[in-house]
């Protein structure tokens, strides 16, 4: 946890304890708790940490009792003003703590017996000559310009910088399959986190002072771009389909799975260009470009939630079960089938840990929303 996050977290906890935290601040506190409760990055004394945990847990119990009395056909998992985000910490399978310590759930249903694997670090590196290198945990790959320990791919900046513009630029491709994710560090020190079912094209080398270009062919990627001032003013551009993003040195997320390209700016400044028309984004703004309609819309979003996937969890706010299933299908490499179309529209709020077996998630939905499911090999049937 960096100093900025640590300071912000302490401020949120103080406001939370004083009873003056807003919905948005409670949600941020929930996200921080999930990200750091298992790590050494938690900035508080262990006793204080446990006290916060117990307080939130008590609110979750009250929330469950209250929401279980409601009889609404389709509603979010949690919608009470004071505890809907705190509830997401434990109920949506963040650590398994709530499942095993609250008799609201049927403990006998927690037996996991399926062949669906949790996503992990894996990718395929395609070299200039077309040859493919499988990258996965426990396998090392090293050349003069790049190395991988199976969890990340890092290009050596000292040996990978092109000095003369006439030199040929060599391109590599990194493909992340369904059920995978990977970290990539380019020769200019730009850092990229790639989500499941993604593919990126990038240069092994950069021409000094010339625009640095990469292409997200499809999928989702989070960028921390090395500033232009470190590269003789060279700009950074990301191309994806009919969409171009001009960057000066910033952090942003791009999602381009289907017919929508979504760009979320976390820090800095970017310009989104479509059909030679530019739209400038400010931090916390998101652009959505619809390829079929040719339209682009700008909105304000919670960037911490939008980019939570790279920190080890998925954060859903008012998402349909169908949308949640699409995300889960990529991470667990499964297929969802809805026999009951009404359930596909069911609204879901909550936080999912990416390192949980998928059946824990399904069991939660079964108990909270009376959803019946069946697993057949890599297909999940929602009845």
For the segment 35-44, what is each residue's pLDDT rounded down to a tens digit?
444 444 444 4
Q: Where does a domain end: 266, 281, 306?
A: 306
Domain shared by 48 and 143, yes or no = no
What's the whole-number average pLDDT of the chain? 77
> For position 88, what pLDDT does the model report?
40
Residue 164 binned pLDDT confidence (cut-offs 50, 70, 90): low
DSSP sequence for 7-44:
HHHHHHHHHHHTT---HHHHHHHHHHHHHHTTSTT--S
Query: Residue 247: inside a domain, yes or no?
Result: yes
Least confident of 19-33, 35-49, 84-98, 196-210: 84-98
Domain shared by 142 and 266, yes or no = yes
Which of 62-66, 95-99, 179-183, 242-246 shows the highest mean pLDDT?
A: 179-183
Task: Kindly tell me if the per-residue pLDDT of 173 is higher than 60.
Answer: yes
Here the CATH number for the domain that contains residue 136 is 2.60.120.1440
Q: Where does a domain end: 106, 137, 161?
A: 106
CB contact set of 307 (below 8 Å; sequence gap of 6+): 222, 253, 264, 266
Q: Where does a domain end: 80, 106, 132?
A: 106
Mean pLDDT of 346-373: 83
Mean pLDDT of 221-230: 93
Coil, helix or strand at residue 175:
strand
Query: Residue 115: inside a domain, yes or no?
Result: no
pLDDT per residue over 197-218, tens digit each? Answer: 999 999 998 888 889 999 999 9
Strand partners, 352: 314
Domain shared by 234 and 141, yes or no = yes
Domain shared by 130 and 192, yes or no = yes
Query: Residue 261: inside a domain, yes or no?
Result: yes
| Gap between the Cα atoms of 224 and 62, Å rounded | 41
The single residue listed with the structure tokens 């879901």 is 348
Domain shared by 326 and 206, yes or no = no
DSSP sequence for 327-368:
HHHHHHT-EEEESSHHHHT-EEEEEEETTS-HHHHHHHHHHH
Domain shared by 298 and 219, yes or no = yes
Residue 101: enclosing H or E segment and its boundaries? helix 97-101
> For position 301, what pLDDT does the model report?
92
Dihedral class, residue 241 (left if φ above 0, else alpha if ψ from -120 to 50, else beta): left
Query: Residue 114: inside a domain, yes or no?
Result: no
pLDDT per residue over 308-336, tens digit each? Answer: 999 888 888 888 999 999 999 999 999 99
> For position 61, what pLDDT does the model report?
41
Domain shared by 189 and 251, yes or no = yes
> For position 85, what pLDDT does the model report?
42
**Can you point out the beta strands (E) in 127-196?**
132-136, 141-142, 146-148, 152-155, 161-162, 171-176, 180-185, 191-194
Here the CATH number for the domain that contains residue 327 is 3.55.50.30
Query: Residue 111: inside a domain, yes or no?
Result: no
Q: Which two tokens stand for residue 380?
A: 């999940």
DSSP character for 113?
-
Strand partners, 174: 125, 200
Mean pLDDT of 331-356: 89
Phi/psi at 210 (nearest 5 deg)? -95, 155
Alpha carbon of 163 to those of 8, 154, 169, 207, 227: distances in Å?
Answer: 42, 20, 11, 6, 19
Q: How many domains does the chain have?
A: 3
Query: Residue 358: inside a domain, yes or no?
Result: yes
Domain shared by 25 and 151, yes or no = no
Domain shared by 149 and 12, yes or no = no
Domain shared by 60 and 77, yes or no = yes
Residue 352 · residue 93 · CB < 8 Å: yes
Task: Kindly tell me if the per-residue pLDDT of 82 is higher than 50.
Answer: no
Query: Residue 113: inside a domain, yes or no?
Result: no
Domain shared by 321 and 201, yes or no = no
Task: Kindly tell me if the per-residue pLDDT of 130 is higher than 80.
Answer: yes
Range of the domain at 326: 312-365+372-382
Query: Residue 79: inside a domain, yes or no?
Result: yes
pTM of the model: 0.74
Exposure letters 173-204 (e unless 16+ CB within 10 A, then b): bbbbbebbbbbbbbbbebbbbbbbbbbbbbbb
> For position 219, what pLDDT does the model report?
97
Domain shared by 139 and 93, yes or no = no
> For position 340, what pLDDT does the model report?
86
């Amino acid at each position: 946890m960096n100093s900025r996050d640590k300071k912000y977290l302490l401020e949120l906890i103080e406001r939370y304890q004083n009873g003056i935290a807003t919905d948005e601040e409670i949600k941020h506190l929930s996200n921080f708790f999930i990200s750091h409760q298992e790590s050494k990055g938690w900035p508080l004394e262990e006793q204080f940490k446990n006290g916060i945990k117990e307080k939130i847990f008590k609110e979750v119990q009250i929330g469950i009792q209250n929401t279980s009395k409601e009889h609404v056909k389709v509603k979010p998992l949690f919608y009470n003003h004071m505890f809907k985000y705190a509830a997401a910490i434990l109920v949506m399978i963040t650590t398994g703590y709530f499942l095993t310590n609250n008799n609201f759930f049927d403990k006998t249903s927690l037996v996991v017996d399926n062949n669906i694997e949790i996503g992990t670090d894996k990718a395929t590196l395609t070299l200039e000559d077309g040859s493919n290198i499988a990258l996965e945990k426990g396998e090392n790959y090293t050349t003069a310009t790049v190395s991988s320990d199976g969890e990340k791919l890092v290009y050596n900046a000292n040996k990978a910088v092109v000095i003369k513009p006439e030199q040929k630029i060599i391109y590599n491709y990194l493909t992340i399959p369904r059920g995978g994710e990977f970290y990539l560090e380019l020769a200019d020190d730009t850092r990229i986190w790639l989500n499941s079912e993604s593919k990126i094209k990038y240069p092994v080398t950069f021409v000094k002072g010339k625009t640095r270009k990469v292409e997200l062919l499809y999928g989702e990627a989070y960028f921390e771009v090395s500033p232009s001032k470190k590269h003789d003013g060279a700009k950074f551009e990301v191309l994806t389909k009919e969409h171009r993003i001009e960057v000066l040195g910033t952090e942003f997320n791009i999602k381009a799975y289907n017919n929508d390209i979504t760009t979320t700016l976390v820090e800095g400044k970017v310009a989104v260009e479509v059909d030679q028309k530019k739209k400038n984004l400010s931090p916390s703004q998101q652009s959505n470009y619809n390829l079929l309609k040719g339209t682009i819309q700008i909105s304000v979003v919670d960037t911490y939630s939008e980019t939570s996937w790279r920190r080890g969890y998925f954060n859903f706010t008012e998402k349909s079960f169908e949308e949640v299933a699409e995300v889960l299908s990529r991470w667990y490499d499964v297929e969802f089938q809805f026999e009951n179309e009404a359930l596909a529209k069911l609204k879901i709020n909550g936080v999912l840990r990416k390192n949980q077996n998928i059946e824990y998630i399904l069991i939660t939905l079964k108990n909270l929303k009376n959803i019946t499911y069946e697993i057949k090999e890599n297909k999940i049937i929602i009845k």
